[in-house]
Amino acid sequence: MPTNLPAWGVYVHIPWCRTRCPYCAFTIVVDRDSPKHAYTLALLRQWEAVAPQFPSPPTTLAFGGGTPSLHPPEDLTTIIRTIQPTGEVSLEANPGQVSLALLDAWREAGVTRLSVGVQTFSRRHARLLNRGHTVEDAEALLRDVARAGFRSWSADLIFATPGQTLAELDADLDALLAAGPPHVSLYGLTAEEETPYGRAVASGRITPADEHAWRAAYERVVSRLEDAGLARYEVSNFARPGHRSTHNEHYWRGRPYAGLGVGAAGYWPDGARTQGPEDVAAYIADPVGTCAIERPSPADAAVDWLVGTTRHVDGLALDELRARGFTLRDDVVRGLVRAGLLQTTPTGLGLTPAGFPVADGVLSRLADALTPA
C-alpha cells in the first residue's frame, strides 16, 4: 500500500440480536431465521457501489450491531476478503454465544480486535438491563478472549443504571479489571425515546441516575481505570498504550468512513453523509437505492467535526477549524476556560478533567459559538 494514502474505515452493521435490550435504540432485528446470507450479498452489492467514492483501500473494518457474533463466520470471512482492509478488523461479540471454535474462526477470518458487550457483572443490574446472557457467560467470554490471541480486545460496560451505588460500581470495576482488558468503553445509561426504558423514565416509573450521581459515577470510573493504567483518550474510552480503537479514531478525527447495512451511517471523502434504511427486507431488495445521501451545509459539517474531535483527548485543532471556514467566538471560549472546563493545547483547545464529565454541555456551547472565519 502506498504510504501517503489517507486513513479511513468501513463500518458494517449486523442487526441480529437474540433479544432486544429495553434501553437500546440501535437498528436491530430479533433473530428468528434471519436472512443472513441474503444480507451478506446485499452488503457486498452496496460495497461495490460505494467503494469508488473512496480513494484507496480502507485502513480499518468494524463489524458492529446488533450482534455481529450471530453472523455466520464464513460470511464474515467473505466480507473481510472482499473489502481487504489494510489494518484493524474489529467485531462486537455478545457473551453466551461464542465458542472457542468461533473465536478461532474469527481470528482465521482476519479479525484482529474483539469488543465484548459485558455491560455489568452485577446480577441485580443484569436483570434490570435484561441482557440475553448471564454474568457467568460474560466472565467466561472475557477469559476466553484474553487467551485467544487477538491483537487487542475491549470490554463494554454501562454505568449509572437506576439505583446503582458507588459500591456496586466498584464491584463492577473490580470484576472488569480482574479480566485485564487492554481497552474499555464505559457508557452512562441514557434514556432513549421510543425504548421501553426511555418510556419508563418519561412516565416516572423508573428514576434514572441524577446529574450528581452520574458525575460521581463517571469520576469514579475515570480514577479507577486510570489508576489501573487504562488512560482516557475519549470521553467514554480508555486504553493501555497501543490499544486505542483505530477505527473509532476515524469518527473522532473527522476522517471518512463507509457505512454498510441497515441503520449504518457513512461519511464520504466529498463530504456527503449517508444513512442506511431501517428495514432489512427493503435493504436486501435494494441495498444501494435505500441508502439516503445528504450533503450537509459547511456549518453543519463543521459542527459534526467539532463535536467528534473535542470529545477526544487531543482536542480541537484551531488551524483545521479555520481550514473548514470557521472560528469560535472569543467570549464563549474565554468563559469556558475561566469556568475550568476547557484549556488551551499546543494546537487548539481541549476539555479539562472537569470538562470531560460535562462534555455534552461544553460541546453544545462550542457549536453555538461557531462563526465564519
Ligand X SMILES: C[S@@+](CC[C@H](N)C(=O)[O-])C[C@H]1O[C@@H](n2cnc3c(N)ncnc32)[C@H](O)[C@@H]1O
- Beta carbons within 8 Å of 318's beta carbon, 6+ residues apart: 327, 328, 347, 348, 349
Which of residues 12, 28, 98, 363 is near ligand SF4 by CB under 6 A? 28
| Residue list 79-138, contact with ligand SF4 (CB under 6 A) | 94, 117
Site string for ligand SF4, 226-265 (x = CB under 6 A): ----------------------------------------
What value, to the nearest 5°, has the Cα angle with vertex 304 and ends 300 and 310? 135
Q: Which of 276, 280, 265, 264 is nearest to 38 (CA)?
A: 280
* Partner from ligand X, ligand SF4, none contacting 249, C-beta within 5 to 8 A by type: none
Which of residues 7, 14, 21, 225 is near ligand SF4 by CB under 6 A? 21
Q: Which residue is nearest to ligand X (CB)?
A: 117
* Partner from ligand X, ligand SF4, none contacting 264, C-beta within 5 to 8 A by type: none
Is 155 or 302 the residue whose CB approaches ligand SF4 more closely? 155
Q: Which three cell numbers stand for residue 171?
A: 464491584
Is 133 or 244 the residue whose CB approaches ligand SF4 more closely? 133
Contact between 67 and ligand SF4 per CB under 6 A = yes
* Partner from ligand SF4, ligand X, none contacting 47, C-beta within 5 to 8 A by type: none
Taking a C-beta distance cutoff of 8 angstroms, is the pair 11, 257 a contact?
yes
Min dist CB 65 to ligand X, Å, is 5
Tell me whether the omega of the peptide bond preceding residue 66 falls within 30 degrees of 0, making it cis: yes
CA pair distance 125, 342, nearest whole angstrom: 34
Which of residues 9, 65, 73, 182 is near ligand SF4 by CB under 6 A? 65
Is 64 or 348 the residue whose CB approaches ligand X more closely? 64
* Chain residues in the site for ligand X (CB under 6 A): 23-24, 26, 64-67, 92, 94, 117, 119, 156, 158, 187, 189-190, 192
Q: Which of 243, 95, 98 is nearest to 175 (CA)?
A: 95
Which of residues 20, 151, 215, 329 is near ligand SF4 by CB under 6 A? 20
How far are the Cα atoms of 36, 124, 189, 193, 211 from residue 200, in angstroms, in the given order?
33, 18, 14, 10, 18
* Partner from ligand SF4, ligand X, none contacting 192, C-beta within 5 to 8 A by type: ligand X
Which of residues 24, 216, 231, 332 is near ligand SF4 by CB under 6 A? 24
* Partner from ligand SF4, ligand X, none contacting 20, C-beta within 5 to 8 A by type: ligand SF4
| Residue list 318-357, contact with ligand SF4 (CB under 6 A) | none
Min dist CB 102 to ligand SF4, Å, is 17
Min dist CB 119 to ligand X, Å, is 5
Is 28 or 321 the residue whose CB approaches ligand SF4 more closely? 28
Is 164 or 310 the residue whose CB approaches ligand SF4 more closely? 164
- Give the binding-site size for ligand SF4 (rule: CB under 6 A): 11
What is the binding site for ligand SF4 (CB under 6 A)? Answer: 17, 20-21, 24, 26, 28, 65-67, 94, 117
